[in-house]
Structure 1
Amino acid sequence: MEISWIGALIGLALAIILILFRLIPTYALILGAIVGGFIGGASFADVINILITGTQSVQGTVIRIIAAGVFAGVMMESGAAETIAKFIVDKLGGTKAMLSLALATMIITAVGVFIPVAVLIVAPIALSVGNKMGYSKVALLVALSGGGKAGNIISPNPNTIAAAGGFNLDVNQVMIGGLVPAIFGLIVAVAIASFIKFKGMKVTDAEAAELEKASSANHPPLSKALVTPIIAVVLLMISPIGSMIGMDFLAKLKIDSLFILPFAGIVGSIALGKSNKIMEYCTSGLNRMTPTILIIIGAGAIGGLITASTLPAEVVALVKSSGISGMYLAPIAGVLMAAATASTSTGVILATGSFAGAILNTGVSPLSAAVMTHTGATVIDHLPHGTYFHVTRNAMSMSMKDRMKVVLFESIVGLTMTVVAIILYGYIL
């Protein structure tokens, strides 16, 4: 049966409200789908069918994220990510401190480390540099968070996998598609951080010493730390490079991230001399992925409700009647859903699961839609009702007042990437 758009809209709104009131997102989304289904005119049997159909539609994304847990576990738990970060900062030196910190966080996130974890990894280095140079914590976090946002839209992280899965694309297509917006995001983050570097609370000697001591664990050498991300990047880029240089046999060799990321993680752990810890890394990676997987299941349920309803058709009609170009639906969906959940990955999952069909019906190509939705999710995904806000505040030992000052600058970085994506994929390509 066809569900009324009113029921679907109420179900989606209820889910978002429940998330804002701290109900576990998975339960909030499933409950929203159930209530919306009944309000929309569905029977008990119809609601069950909607839930099953919706959750089945996201299983491809779920299994890819589970596979990515192997890769993430190796990078996070082996110390490889810390090694890469310290190398970048040490090489660029104190005179280019903001660039080095933003670039380090961008690269660590881009190679598959979650953005909150990337900030946690680079934070001790940032505080040490900030203490020596007299830079403020606000400026330092702008560099870290801005660089992390830039890296997040070109990484094989759950948000990128969800953006690709929502529009039936390969992960590498979305990663490459976000490269130009990411570069602009990095530039803006560094510019803002450099402009305000002496404004605000400084890093004390005691804080720098304490965090330096906490990060003094033994890390693998750079040559070994790079094995895992290099293997992943090379294999993910085989098909796109083949297409660009006209080598059909490479272009047709489309190896999914489902195979590439676990393979890179296993080979990388062997290269690190940690083959005996592969099971430990896999367990850690899966544990980190589990919250996202559960959210995806809930998003599949609410997506099933919206797909079964007249809401997508109503949205398309509203966009057309308003005179606004249909391409703006993609970034708007990303912005609103990420703002409601204060999470990039959850925002992308909800935006693609609920509005992918409506977005494509406006005539936007899948790649353009994926990149614009993905970048849109970075604009206000760092609000206080999410975990990222508090994890990064604690990592930098900041007051609530100072952390709130960073929010505006983070939004400017995300908005820059979104505008670049709109111009690039909405008007040029």
Structure 2
Amino acid sequence: MTITTFGAIIGLSVSIILIIKKFEPFYCLVFGALVGGIVGGADLVSTVEYMANGAQSMAPAILRVMTSGFLAATLIKTGAVDRISEEIIKILGIKKSILGIVLSAMVLSAVGVDLDVVVLTVGPIGMSIGHKLGYSKLAILLAALGGGKAGNIISPNPNTLAAATNFNVDLSSVMLANIVPAICGVLVTTVLAKTLINKVSKINIDIDIQEDENLPSLFASIIGPIVAICLLFLGNVSSIVVDPLVALPVGAIVCIIATKNLVHTKEYLSYGVEKMQGVCILLLGTGTLVGIIQMSNLQHSTISLLDTLSIPQFLLAPISGMVMSLATASTTGGATIASSTFSSAILNSGLSGIAGASMVNAGACVFEHLPHGALFHASTKSVSMDLIERFKLIHYEIAIGLVIVFVSTIMQFFMMSL
């Protein structure tokens, strides 16, 4: 039984409206999926079956996301994230402080720390620098958000994991494919943030971030992520393929040993599960909606629309990522729904799995910061900014995301034409 395109769109719309109204996202997605299936012409039994199948398809991604939480937890709880960000800013110096904040956020995101934690970590450090130099909160926050956005598309974070899993390609290959777009994102973020240095409110709270002598050394802080990333990239240079399910926990163990925190291993494991369970629950809810969309005519309708508008079919990859991130205000939700729903059509357009996954992932970063998502509110809190001022950054963030997805698309189109 095929669900109509109208039903799929109604289901997606219901989910979006309820999420915007601040209902629990998991139930919004499940309820939207149920409504979409019934409105789309399926009976109740078939609708529930499609939802269950969709949620089941999320299992591989959820398993890898849960294990990635161990590495993220060790980086956060050992103080590694603080040491890494402090050292980057210290090395670049005050004169290049904006670039330092951007790179700090990028590196933290790229090694597997989720964006909420990145902005909450880098924000106070940026506030301290901004107070001393007379910079605006807008400049500091945009630097942290843009850097995090750039790092997120080359990271082992849930969005990249989901895209790689759904296109059945190596995570490391998807990470590698977006390095140049990430660098472009860093450059654009730095330029835009500098234009905001003297705009709107200045930081008038004296925040002095003292260096904590209890933080681990820089080597101990970075060795865990380096080991994890090297293991992931083994498959690109040899016949040895290490799945993220193994590589990321190994990196976590190395980090724990290097920082001499073996006694806290149980605590970090618990924190990792706690940190990732919200993402995994979101993925389950997303899966129910994906199940309905996959059984609908939405793919064919979308392809027909692209043909009518004379838009190349390979652009379905970045466009689907952008549209789904607009719907969910989440890189994870956007990348998951787009890659699950449109992977077959994207591959049929002539793109490789790596190209499709990287473009979807890049597209999903464009609208992740919208007000109906968690990042908007976490970032607002990170620099104690009022909501009216926070809204003034949205178009800058969209611009950074568009540059990233444009460069990613051009690169993959060039590779496809070779």
Matches within 5 A, 1:101-116: 101-116=101-116
Cα offsets for 1:12-48 (capped at 9, x unmatched): 2222222222222221222222222222222233123
Deviation track 1:182-234 (CA, whole Å, cap 9, x = no partner) reads: 00000000111123322222222x3424xx26x85731111211121111111
1:345 and 2:344 are equivalent in the alignment: no
Over aligned residues, Cα RMSD in angstroms?
Answer: 1.6
Q: In the alignment, which residue of structure 2 is the partner of 1:299?
A: 286
Letter in 2 for 1:133: L
Deviations 1:391-413 (A, max 9, x none): 11111122223212221211111
Partners of 2:55 and 2:288 within 8 A in 1: yes
1:97 touches 1:129 (CA, 8 Å); kept in 2?
yes
- Tell me the SS of whatever aligns to 2:207: helix
Separation in 1, partners of 2:102, 2:270 = 30
CA contact (8 A) 1:326 1:364 kept: no
Structure 1 segment 171-250 matched on structure 2, within 5 A = 171-204=171-204, 206-209=205-208, 212=209, 216=212, 218-240=214-236, 242=237, 250=238
Normalised by the size of structure 2, how large is the TM-score?
0.95
Residue equivalent to 2:393: 406
Whether the 8 Å CA contact 1:71–1:265 is kept in 2: the answer is yes
CA shift, 1:9, in A, is 2.3
Structure 1: distance between partners of 2:389 and 2:35 = 40
Unaligned stretches of 5+ in structure 1? 243-249
Separation in structure 1 between the aligned mates of residue 183 and residue 387 of structure 2, nearest angstrom: 29
* Equivalent residue number for residue 128 of structure 2: 128
| Partner of residue 284, structure 1 | 271
Is contact 1:341-1:386 (8 Å) kept?
A: yes
Deviation at 1:75, TM superposition (A): 0.7
What per-residue deviation string (whole Å, max 9, x for no partner) do you get for residues 27-84 of structure 1? 1222222222222222233123212221121111010001101111101111011111
Correspondence for 1:319 among 292, 306, 325: 306
- What's 2:22 paired with? 22
Residue identity opposite 1:280 in structure 2: E
Pick the aligned partner of 2:261 from 268, 274, 296: 274
CA distance in 1, matches of 2:2, 2:193: 51
Map 1:84-103 to 2 at 5 A.
84-103=84-103
In 2: Cα distance, 1:55 partner to 1:341 partner = 17
Map 1:368-387 onto structure 2 (within 5 A). 368-387=355-374
Identity over aligned residues, as a percent?
Answer: 38
- Report whether the alignment pairs 1:75 with 2:62: no
Q: Could you tell me how far 1:286 is from its partner in structure 2?
A: 1.2
187-196 or 309-318: bigger deviation = 309-318
Give the 3-state SS of the residue equivalent to 1:208 in structure 2.
coil
SS at match of 1:391: helix
How far does residue 262 in structure 1 lie from its aligned partner after superposition? 0.8
Letter in 2 for 1:190: T
What one-letter code is carried by the residue in structure 2 that aligns with 1:155? Answer: S
